Amino acid sequence: TQGQVITCKAAVAWEPNKPLTIEDVQVAPPQAGEVRVQILYTALCHTDAYTWGGKDPEGLFPCILGHEAAGIVESVGEGVTNVKPGDHVIPCYQAECGECKTCKSGKTNLCGKVRSATGVGVMLNDGKSRFSINGKPIYHFMGTSTFSQYTVVHDVSVAKIDPIAPLDKVCLLGCGVSTGLGAVWNTAKVEPGTIVAIFGLGTVGLAVGEGAKAAGASRIIGIDIDSKKFDIAKNFGVTEFINPKEHEKPIQQVIIDRTDGGVDYSFECIGNVSVMRAALECCHKGWGTSVIVGVAASGQEISTRPFQLVSGRVWKGTAFGGFKSRSQVPWLVDKYLKKEIKVDEYITHTLTLSEINKAFDLLHEGGCLRCVLST
């Protein structure tokens, strides 16, 4: 198949909120600096639902969504040296070239090499898509487009992993689990003995719980409007639960009252701007740090009284948990293989790519953390 167009099945999102359809899609061969990957397993993350729902200002249609996956390199374009056909890989929506200004800064995991192209659904080389249906181009998404049996990614957007790792599990390290762990370890740098609050106990929030436990936090307070999440969360290090619906006072006040003035660290893992405000305001004055992980809909803005920051609270955000993707995803996979981090426990459902609409429905049910699709 090397050098040839591959026709395969992919789930195409034609317009916001319209069910995806499984189509025969033509996937062009990788050009210079590109890698064609056979996707074997892909999970759904809330961000896929967000873009499908028309809430993403960068959302373009028709497109192939999906960014939490694992597969095997089918072929590589000219000049690609970091992977070869047969390598087991995880696509990385947050690239790492190691050479651009942001990669070299040592201050961030954001990479600027291909972001301008991935933000508009195309490849950097020629500004075009590698996906088409009977000649009509279909946009890429997040530089990954994993809801397809084959995809083309930039070489800086693919991490080579240990081939013994089960791809149906480690696909989760392509986004949600890594993001939650990294938010704690890299962005907040939670210390032992501290109090942590987590808003939203989906996969990302639970991974924050796992990360906070590993970092030695003494109290980990989980906040969710779905009480079914509480039992699950205990297995991920959460020690206390609050359902805001059961309180008349604002949730930030409830937390401040229970923590002698507020928490040391809080994490917003929902994408709701009023909750982001509560997450900041439940932090202890003088040092409390709040990390925004959730992705808010187009047009939404955050607000608080500036006094909240003047009096020492810190507001931060994180993308992919601050992990440098190509260098650190293989490290996360190794940690999973050594049983130092959970992954299997986040998988509540498995389906096939053809059942993807059912998987989107499941995302909105409290009982579903991650649904892994086999392609």
Q: Can you tell me whether residue 297 is helix, strand or coil?
A: coil
- Indicate which single residue of 10, 43, 44, 45 sits in contact with ligand AHE (rule: CB under 6 A): 45
> Is 204 a binder of ligand NAD (CB under 6 A)?
yes
Q: Is 370 marked active-site?
A: yes
SS3 of 329, please? helix
The residue from 67, 130, 154, 284 that is catalytic is 67
What sign for the dihedral angle of Cα 355, 145, 93, 167?
positive
- Which listed range, 15-23, 54-62, 158-166, 270-278, lies at the site for ligand AHE (CB under 6 A)? 54-62
176 or 262: CB nearest ligand NAD: 176
Q: Is 103 a catalytic residue?
A: yes
Question: What does the longest C-alpha to C-alpha distance in the chain come to?
Answer: 64
Residue 113 binding partner per list Zn ion, ligand AHE, ligand NAD, none, with a CB distance cut-off of 5 to 8 Å that depends on partner kind:
Zn ion
34 near ligand AHE, rule: CB under 6 A: no
Residue 350's CB is within 10 A of a number of other CB atoms, namely 15
CB nearer ligand NAD, residue 6 or residue 63: 63
Asked if residue 176 binds ligand NAD (CB under 6 A), the reply is yes
- Region binding ligand NAD by CB under 6 A among candidate stretches 33-41, 160-168, 223-231, 302-310: 223-231
Choices 50-58, 149-157, 254-262, 329-337; region in contact with ligand AHE by CB under 6 A: 50-58
Q: Residue 81, Cβ neighbours under 10 Å: how many? A: 7
264-289 burial code (b ≥16 CB/10 A, e <16): bbbbbbbbbbebbbbbbbbbbeeebb
By CB under 6 A, name the one of 272, 325, 328, 375 that touches ligand NAD. 272
Site for ligand AHE in 287-326 (CB under 6 A): 295, 319-320
CA distance 22 to 237: 39
Q: Is 208 in the site for ligand NAD (CB under 6 A)?
A: no
Report how far residue 284's alpha carbon sits from residue 196's, in angstroms, rounded to the nearest whole number: 11
Q: Which of 63, 92, 103, 283 is catalytic?
A: 103
Of the candidates 46, 140, 284, 313, the residue annotated as catalytic is 46
Catalytic status, residue 269: no
Q: Output the DSSP codes for 204-263.
A: HHHHHHHHHHHTT-SEEEEE-S-TTHHHHHHTTT--EEE-GGG-SS-HHHHHHHHTTS-B
CB of 188 to ligand NAD, least distance (A): 13
Angle at 212 between CA 208 and CA 218, to 5 degrees: 140
Cα(first)–Cα(last) distance of the chain, in Å?
18
What are the φ and ψ backbone dihedral angles of 197, each rounded to 5 degrees?
Answer: -120, 135
Rama region for 368: left / alpha / beta (φ>0; ψ in -120 to 50; rest): beta
175 binds ligand AHE (CB under 6 A): yes
Give min distance, CB of 130 to ligand AHE, in A: 20
Q: List, by residue number, the catalytic residues.
A: 45-47, 67-68, 97, 100, 103, 111, 115, 175, 370
Residues that bind Zn ion (CB under 5 A): 45, 47, 97, 100, 103, 111, 113, 175
Residues that bind ligand NAD (CB under 6 A): 45-47, 50, 175-176, 179, 199-205, 223-226, 229, 244, 269-272, 275, 293-295, 318-320
Residues that bind ligand AHE (CB under 6 A): 45, 47, 56-58, 94, 110, 115, 175, 295, 319-320
